[in-house]
Amino acid sequence: MRAGLNDLTDVVLKKMMAVFTAGLAICLVVFCSSELVAQSAQKIYHNGKIITVNDTAPTAEAVAVRDGEILAVGSKTDVLRTSDEKTELVDLRGRTMLPGFVDAHGHVMGGGLQALSANLLSPPDGQVRDIPSLQQTLRDWMKDNRQAVEKVQLVVGFGYDNAQLAELRHPDRDDLDVLSTEVPIVLVHQSGHIISVNSKALELGGITKDSVNPAGGVIRRRQNSQEPNGVLEETAAFPLLFKLVGRVGPEGAAIFLRAGADRWASFGYTTAQDGRSMPDMVKIMQQVAAAGDLEIDVVAYPDVLVDRNVIKQEFNPNYKNRFRVGGAKLTIDGSPQGFTAWRDQPYYNPVGDYPPGYAGYPAAQAEQVIDAINWAFSNDLQILTHSNGEAASDLLIAAIEAARKVYPQKKLRPVLIHGQFLREDQVDSLQRLDIIPSLYPMHTFYWGDWHREHTVGPELADDISPTGWCVERGMRFTSHHDAPVANPNSMRVLDATVTRRSRSGDIIGPSHRVDVMTGIKAMTLWAAWQHFEEDRKGSIEVGKLADFVILDKDPTSIDVNTLDQIKVTETIKEGKTIYLMDTDRQGQNAPASNDPSFGKLLQAMSRPISDRDLANDQPPVLAASITPGCPTCVCGTLSQLVNAAAGSVGGKPEQ
């Protein structure tokens, strides 16, 4: 009897469930149909290769976008179901779409200054191979921008590298006096820690044979003389830079940011980083964002040794008008190619007047590093740390290990920036401590030969930026450009990460080459993860931002040795095209005078140099930033310079 009752109950329950399921299905159909009408796509991209960077569905035929977000991804047939009569169908014409690139480390405001200066980079990013070609590049720039030069009474060039010049030396005042003895000329070395100026600039700066070398700087002299030769190192360069360029003021600094953001977008970046911001730079970025003038997202990391209050007060996990402060930046050492990275052994064959056993030096004391890391952990803040040499990375690892013992449960994703000379045991420590390695494989192209011959020697040169060790351990890493040290050239980043081919054609560390998809992840999904933004960026998935880059070729299906020849044809931020390649110029930059930002910069700089400018002592900002910061790399010089333009009055550095 009980068995029969149970059977009857089962039948009744099954019928009730069938009725309920049918009713639910009807409700779902009605609901989904009305929802589909309400959420019809505004745009559908199709007829191209779509690389989603989503391992569960690596490619797609079409993508639908609505209100700046991805509405649908998949086959063209399925995605077209989200369309109506108002939907715009965008034909990719066989091109390749990827998620917008996320900048793992760069200096977007400094990149704006570079964008509006004469391009003195060596091939393939410029045309400067020797002193005569440098002079001709400046001569052409001065001609193309004659009105600007006459109005501003200043010529600025950026990016020369003495290691790439045939003469293997810096241009001096005599080389630049050939161009002008009436207008000051200032050339910034690619590393950012040396400038070369003409006689007029020395005169305006009051730099004579009687000038003494400042602490932390050198005024280079003519041979067998005390007369300055026009080359100024480190802190010796800063006062003159501030007097001549810093007068652009807050308006000029804002122009630098806009120009930098535009430059990043032209290389497919939809998120840019300002990787060592100063307090007044943060204010300018907020003002530009509030005015609605940022077309890409910008995340800033202010210097933790300058003003911690700014970091605490302005930190925001969410963007406001496409800007946010994402955490703190710390700098432990300097530049590997400039022999100022802090190593655990002597440099191999350094070029310059270095004592026996020279191994570089720290830019911050151990107590400062330990305190800064502990402060970041105690305040639940992510910290990015510039560390190139082995000794610098040893200190960083020790500081984070100490902080993790105090705060074992915190998941703050601390980041090591650069890590050029990492040892393999240090990579093990990064993995154990959950430190994200943001590596710099582009160094293998630009300075791989230099590292092999001068910094670490042929054996250790193979292990610079050791992406292969990360892959072996299943670690996520990111790959960056550090612009304006180099152009924010996304395809150069990808090419270097995959091929590790140097300027000479040598392969620097074959075992550290990675496949193309790993290289792409290091610039998209993993870079978004580094910034705690993986839920909104880094892959083409429903619900994420419609941030895309469109390339003229598919990087996954061509010869990897031609990756650097791929062109960014279009950049899309939240469904809106913000960059289209000028097909007549093949993506090359037009003269600065053709840039609308340049005209605005002229207005900002139109006040002539006054006696008061030249009589001013060292700007107060230097007291705040030289001692604890990074004068030996581009982030130091440009951050201080742009901050002075932004109107800094300095402040007491953190101890």
Largest Cα–Cα separation, the chain? 117
Please name the amino acid found at residue 97.
M
Beta bridge partners of 232: 195, 219
CA atoms within 13 A on the CB side of 430: 30
Strands (E), 472-553: 478-479, 548-551
For residue 446, give both structure tokens: 């630009």
Is position 186 within any domain? yes
pLDDT, tens digit, 9 for 90 and up, residues 307-360: 999 999 999 999 999 999 999 999 999 889 888 899 999 999 998 778 999 999
pLDDT, tens digit, 9 for 90 and up, residues 186-228: 998 887 778 999 999 999 999 999 999 987 678 999 999 999 9
pLDDT at 24 (0 to 100): 40
The rounded distance, in Å, linking the Cα atoms of 308 and 375 is 9
pLDDT at 647 (0 to 100): 58
Q: Do the Cβ atoms of 65 and 520 come closer than 8 Å?
A: no
Would you say residue 298 has pLDDT above 90? yes
The rounded distance, in Å, linking the Cα atoms of 115 and 592 is 7
Q: Do the Cβ atoms of 65 and 42 come closer than 8 Å?
A: yes
**Which residue, 83, 70, 7, is CA-closest to 41?**
83
**Which residue, 100, 99, 105, is CA-closest to 480?**
105
The two beta strands, 155-160 and 118-119, are parallel
Determine the average pLDDT of the residues in 13-41.
Answer: 45
Is position 202 within any domain? yes
The rounded distance, in Å, linking the Cα atoms of 197 and 34 is 68
Beta bridge partners of 146: none
For residue 26, give both structure tokens: 């009807």
What is the DSSP secondary-structure string of 206-255? T--TTPPPPTTEEEEE-TTSSSEEEEEEETTTHHHHHHHTGGGHHHHHHH
Measured from the Cβ of residue 557, the count of other Cβ atoms closer than 10 Å reads 9
Is position 12 within any domain? no
Is position 351 within any domain? no
Check residue 344 and give left, alpha or beta (phi > 0: left; psi -120 to 50: alpha): alpha
The rounded distance, in Å, linking the Cα atoms of 620 and 46 is 55
Query: What residues contact residue 472 under an 8 Å CB cut-off, 6+ apart?
Result: none
Share of residues in the chain with pLDDT > 70 (%): 82
Is position 137 within any domain? yes
For residue 561, give both structure tokens: 């040795």
- Report the sign of the C-alpha dihedral through residues 598, 599, 603, 605, in that order: positive
| Selection from 436-450, 599-613, 620-634 with the highest mean pLDDT | 436-450
**Which residue, 283, 438, 277, 307, is CA-closest to 372?**
307
The rounded distance, in Å, linking the Cα atoms of 569 and 95 is 9
Is position 125 within any domain? yes
Is position 357 within any domain? no
pLDDT at 640 (0 to 100): 61
In total, how many domains does the chain have? 1
Determine the average pLDDT of the residues in 144-160.
Answer: 87
Would you say residue 584 has pLDDT above 70? no
DSSP state letter for 594: G
Please name the amino acid found at residue 612.
R
Q: Do the Cβ atoms of 542 and 70 come closer than 8 Å?
A: yes
The rounded distance, in Å, linking the Cα atoms of 514 and 274 is 27
H helices present in 420-463, as ranges: 424-432, 442-446, 448-450, 457-461
Is position 469 within any domain? no
Determine the average pLDDT of the residues in 373-396.
Answer: 98
Given pLDDT bands bounded at 50, 70 and 90, which one contains residue 234? confident
Q: What global pTM score does this model have? A: 0.85
The three-class DSSP label of residue 56 is: coil
Would you say residue 641 has pLDDT above 70? no
The rounded distance, in Å, linking the Cα atoms of 326 and 531 is 7
CATH of the domain at 203: 3.10.310.70
Given pLDDT bands bounded at 50, 70 and 90, which one contains residue 590? very low
444 alpha carbon, distance to own chain's centre: 17
Q: Do the Cβ atoms of 601 and 255 come closer than 8 Å?
A: yes
Domain span at residue 606?
108-247+593-622+631-646
- Report the sign of the C-alpha dihedral through residues 513, 516, 518, 524, in that order: positive
Please name the amino acid found at residue 394.
D
Residue 9: its H or E element: helix 2-38
Tokens 């000038």, residue? 211
pLDDT at 251 (0 to 100): 82
Would you say residue 597 has pLDDT above 80? no
Tokens 């009713």, residue? 23
The rounded distance, in Å, linking the Cα atoms of 165 and 185 is 19
Query: What residues contact residue 439 under an 8 Å CB cut-off, 6+ apart?
Result: 418, 419, 465, 466, 467, 470, 477, 478, 479, 480
User: In angstroms, how far is the first alpha carbon of the chain from the final one?
Assistant: 86
List % helix, strand, coil for the chain (3-state, nearest 5).
40, 20, 40
pLDDT, mean over the chain:
86
pLDDT at 339 (0 to 100): 87
pLDDT, tens digit, 9 for 90 and up, residues 426-447: 999 999 999 999 999 999 999 9
625 φ/ψ angles, rounded to the nearest 5 degrees: -125, -20
Q: Do the Cβ atoms of 322 and 294 come closer than 8 Å?
A: yes
The rounded distance, in Å, linking the Cα atoms of 14 and 12 is 5
Given pLDDT bands bounded at 50, 70 and 90, which one contains residue 619? very low
Q: Mutual orientation of helices 249-266 and 279-290 as an angle, nearest 10°?
A: 70
